[in-house]
Amino acid sequence: MTEHSATSRADHNIWPGLTYDDPIAARAWLAALGFTEGVLVRDDDGTVHHSEMIWPEGGRVMLSSSGRADATFASPRGSGSVYVVVDDPDAVFARAQGLGATVLRGMEDTDYGSRGFSIADAEGNRWSFGTYAGEE
Helix (H, G, I), strand (E, B) or coil at 16: coil
CA nearest 105: which of 113, 96, 62, 59? Answer: 96
Lowest-confidence pick of 94-98, 105-109, 132-136: 132-136
* For residues 48-76, average pLDDT: 84
Say if residue 3's pLDDT is above 50: no
Q: What is the CATH number of domain 17-66+78-130?
A: 3.10.180.10
Residue type, 71: A
HEC string of 102-126?
EEEEEEEECCCCCEEEEEECCCCCE
Contact by Cβ (8 Å): 15, 60? yes
Say if residue 95's pLDDT is above 50: yes
